[in-house]
Copies of this chain bind each other. A is one copy, B any other.
Amino acid sequence: MQPMAHRLGELAETLGLSVEGDAALELTGLAGLEDARADELSFATGPRYAKAFAASAAGACIVPPDFESQGRSVLRSRAPYADFARAIPIFEPRAAPAPGVHATAVVASDATLADDVSLAAYVVVGGRAEIGARSRLHPHVTIYPNVVIGADCEIHSGAVVREGVRLGDRVVVQSCAVVGGEGFGFAATAGGKRTRIPHHSAVEVGDDVEIGSNSTIDASHPGEPRRGRSSSRTWIGNGVVIDNGVHVGHGVAVGEGTTLCAHVALGGSTTVGRYVTFGGASAAGNSLDVADGALIGGMTGVVSDVEPGQQVLGFPAVERRLFGRISVAWKKLPELLHRVRRIERQLGIDRE
């Protein structure tokens, strides 16, 4: 496809930014400072990019209000990276699926479809399910019975939403994510055998949530803690973003605005506060409390409660700065053993 050209002045207007320099400049794409060509728009977020900005071949850049323009064409922005993000769809528009229900979609007769929904080929919608206005379901999405999906959601091919799950508005579910699969919990019978605890209390997902490809969010059972809410269900708050391959166990609550990076695993009945970040491949055990604003580092294993705003790293997780000091010392461990042996020899201490 031929890229479409946009004049810098038009871009400024579309993005609501002021322009300095050549407003007639034609741009055909976007790139980082090091890679951008003369017909590409780039961005710099602050003074530490001044050198890369000076060396860049970019035709124009989005820069902060007080950034030295060095005589180049710039757009002024109080959030250059966010405005660069807003410029992407101008250069690389995405075709939204057309509204309508494909002839091959199998929709239960008692399901409710709001206006302008888009149900692609081979979408299946179960009994008494409700799909909100303008929500788009890509091919091969399965919606089990009694699911409620809000407005302006997008659900990608292969995703599965299990019975009774509620999704808010503007929720994005990537491919092969499974929302509401049966939680993993067992009890011992009087005879000592393992029996399944039915985990069918459906998951509740807030507004503006994103759930990554191949992630799983499990249903709970009614004996899970309610945490002051009216139900004990697995709960994902508004604005939570979940990357690929993440596991959220039965009865977990994840507070507003929290971030779960790729391959995170949260054990059953754990509570995660608001604006928490779990780094890639980190995990938390069962029935823990991770408070608001906590930062869990990558590959970290949380085995006890985490305080508000606490930053932890390692396994078992310790305070972040302590982890840094431990890591330095840890690398010197073999040497430390030798030093202690030398001291013992000097003191005539027998090795056990």
Contact = CB atoms under 8 A, between A and B. Distances in A.
Interface string A147-168: 0000000001110101100000
Interface in A245-267: 245, 247, 249, 257, 261-263, 265, 267
Contact of A81 (B188, B201, B329): B188
Contact of A184 (B89, B144, B218, B244): B244
Interface string A137-151: 011101011000000
B106 A124 contact: no
A59 interface: no
Given A35-B232, A142-B138, A222-B29, A262 B194 contact: no
A36 to B, nearest CB: 9
A330 to B, nearest CB: 6
A247 B263 contact: yes
A181 interface: yes
Interface stretch (A4-12, A18-26, A341-349): A341-349
B329 A200 contact: no
Interface in A33-84: 34-35, 42-43, 77-79, 81-82, 84
Contacts of A335: 352
A316 B320 CA distance: 13
Given A196-B85, A283-B299, A336-B340, A184 B261 contact: yes
A7 to B, nearest CB: 19
Nearest to A174: B181
Interface residues of A, number: 123
A298 B175 CA distance: 27
A114 interface: no
Contacts of A124: 120-122, 139-140, 157
The majority secondary structure among interface residues of chain A is loop
Contacts of A239: 194
A236 to B, nearest CB: 15
Contacts of A121: 106, 124
Given A106-B104, A283-B298, A330-B326, A198 B81 contact: no
Contacts of A245: 214, 216, 245, 247, 265
B329 A336 contact: yes
A131 interface: no
Interface in A296-345: 298-299, 301, 303, 314-316, 318, 322, 325-337, 339-340, 342-344
B337 A318 contact: no
A344 B339 contact: yes
Interface in A100-140: 102, 104, 106, 120-122, 124, 138-140
A239 B195 CA distance: 10
A214 B218 CA distance: 12
Interface string A201-226: 10000000010111110100111111
A267 to B, nearest CB: 6
